[in-house]
A and B are shown apart, each in its own frame.
Chain A
Amino acid sequence: MSKNSQNTAKQKEEKKVVFLLRHTVETYGLLAGFVVLCVFLSIASPYFLTLSNIFNVGRQIAVTAIIAFGMTFVITAAQIDLSVGSVVALTGVITAALVTRAGFPVWIWLPLVLLTGITIGLMHGFFVAKQKIPAFLLTLATMGVLRGIGFIYTRGHPIYIGSRGFRAIGRGFIGPVPIPIIIMVIIWLICYFILTQSKIGKYITVVGESQRVARLSGINVDRVLIFVFVIEGVLTAISGIIMASRLGTGSPQVALGLELNVIAAVILGGTSLFGGEGRMFGTLLGAMVIGTLVNGMTLLNISPYVQMVVRGLVILGAVWVNMARYRVKR
């Protein structure tokens, strides 16, 4: 008996060391990777470290990252949302229509566009929570439907947005910092706070680990599921606005395949693919790594075809590491 307890004590000690090691690698591994990537790129390309390039990358990252923060909630709840690229396109088109064609002021078009995001989120949440449709298949379907609506409305042609004030959202600065980066940081702070400090953040995590445990503890699982899709809907709409402003058009063709970058950022950041463990800071880092990688490849004149392959491989690698990490833990 005493030998037995000694053994378990020793095992516990070992477990602790392994846990600490893993924790360190998980927390700082990606950060180290990011630093290495940046150092490499600043040596390889004279343009990488210029202020204009950094701002450019930052603006691109912001669009992906804002959606990825929402996706962190979604994946932590053991769900997925493949429709984000289409929602960016659709909300961009709607924004352009409201700003240019209807000529609405900001206090009308902004709530309307955000409401579109909320509605899409509510719809996703309803089908997942109340109709028990797997999120993967549901959002695969809406991915086609929502972009298709954008195409039908515009007949495939982008809507040009002339409004100077509107274009400032994506291209303007506050002080020396581009506005999209400021929006991204604010949203990150809020999301980090929700995930780690709030009741709903805790419930999202528990629902992702086990819906049964959540239900037996008296948590309203349906409400939690709807909540994560609504957050994701709103944040994707915000990204849609930034994207439209940056491009100066609302086009149904933008953000094709964006869901891959977004999911890659979340997975790279260490949020468990199985649900039940979310890492908001990791997601921010993950989005920065993906964005920098894409930018770096462009600066180095790597062909877009090769870029596709590299991006795919990075996602594969991230999924592989993620699976290994969380499978061992189970």
Chain B
Amino acid sequence: MQKEPLLKMKGICKKFGSVQALNNVDFELYDNEILGLVGDNGAGKTTLIKIVSGAYSPDEGKIFLRGEQVNILDPRSAKTLGIETVYQDLALADKLNIAENIFLGKERLKNFLGTPIRILDKKRMEAETLPTLRKLKIDIESPRAKVATLSGGQRQATAIAKSIFWKARIIIMDEPTAALGVAETMKVRQITLDLKKEGASVILISHNLEDIFSVVDRVIILRGGRRVGDRLVKQTTRDEIVKLMITGERAIQ
């Protein structure tokens, strides 16, 4: 635990009009860790991860990656730093196929008939997609399947594939199981554990304490824009976490 964190944020503040969404929040994520981020609605979880993924910039506070201060200006710079996000609504293009989604914004190109004109190398992108899909053990017929035709779990897996394909060091998952059935939820939990096995760190936002207790190593609790707790899952109980989420105070044991 005393190692240098992979990602560290200090004194993060963010205001929307008169609403203080985040108030002097510290946050750290260690190497090869699954971190749960919990809190009631409006606690500031989403704002916090949007700052990490480059969708918002903080009003105050500093972000360090492996001890070095970084500026995350937009989603593109987050990606360059190895931070990928699986959004709650997945942020997939329904009308494109799986391979096109995975390579969106980072297309593989080739020369057109030996001319200097660069065109999409569709075959190569589809071929490269296959191993990632296999690794996730998703039953998808072909990387050419349109996302609009996929089931909820398959879509979730595609969004995850999109982030892990690029060998992200940090993967943020926003409520990944909220819209899924039982079997698909189990699958996503398994994928999360597999990501850790491969050396990535995961920030998991969830309302579902079942998710937290089945996969997470450590949990940070937010309430009203403040950090009110930081627990190793092994050393805590559901009651304590719920209590922290609701009252911000430590449960009496």
| Residues of A near any B CB (own CB < 8 A) | 1, 8, 12, 15, 193, 197-199, 202, 205-206, 209-210, 212-219, 276-277, 329
Contacts and interface: CB of A to CB of B under 8 A. Distances in A.
B100 interface: yes
Interface residues of B, number: 27
A219 B94 CA distance: 16
Interface of chain A: mostly helix, strand, loop or mixed: helix
B120 interface: yes
A219 B96 CA distance: 15
Given A198-B120, A202-B107, A329-B148, A218 B75 contact: yes
A199 B105 CA distance: 9
Interface string B87-121: 10001111110001000111101001000001110
A209 B95 contact: yes
17 contacts: A193-B119, A197-B119, A197-B120, A198-B118, A198-B119, A198-B120, A199-B107, A199-B118, A206-B96, A209-B93, A209-B94, A210-B93, A213-B93, A216-B87, A218-B79, A218-B106, A329-B148
A276 B120 contact: no
B100 A202 contact: yes
A212 B106 CA distance: 17
A209 B183 CA distance: 30
Contacts of B74: 218
Interface of B: 55, 74-76, 79, 85, 87, 91-96, 100, 104-107, 109, 112, 118-120, 148-149, 151, 183
A6 to B, nearest CB: 14
Q: Name B's interface SS.
A: loop
Contacts of A209: 93-95
B76 A218 contact: yes
Contacts of B104: 202, 206, 213, 217, 219
Contacts of A215: 75
A199 B106 contact: no
Contacts of A199: 107, 109, 118, 120
Given A199-B107, A206-B104, A216 B91 contact: yes
A202 B91 contact: no
B91 A213 contact: yes
A216 B94 CA distance: 14
A12 B93 CA distance: 20
Contacts of B87: 216
Nearest to A205: B95
B100 to A, nearest CB: 7
A216 B78 CA distance: 10
Contacts of B105: 217-219
Contacts of B75: 215-218
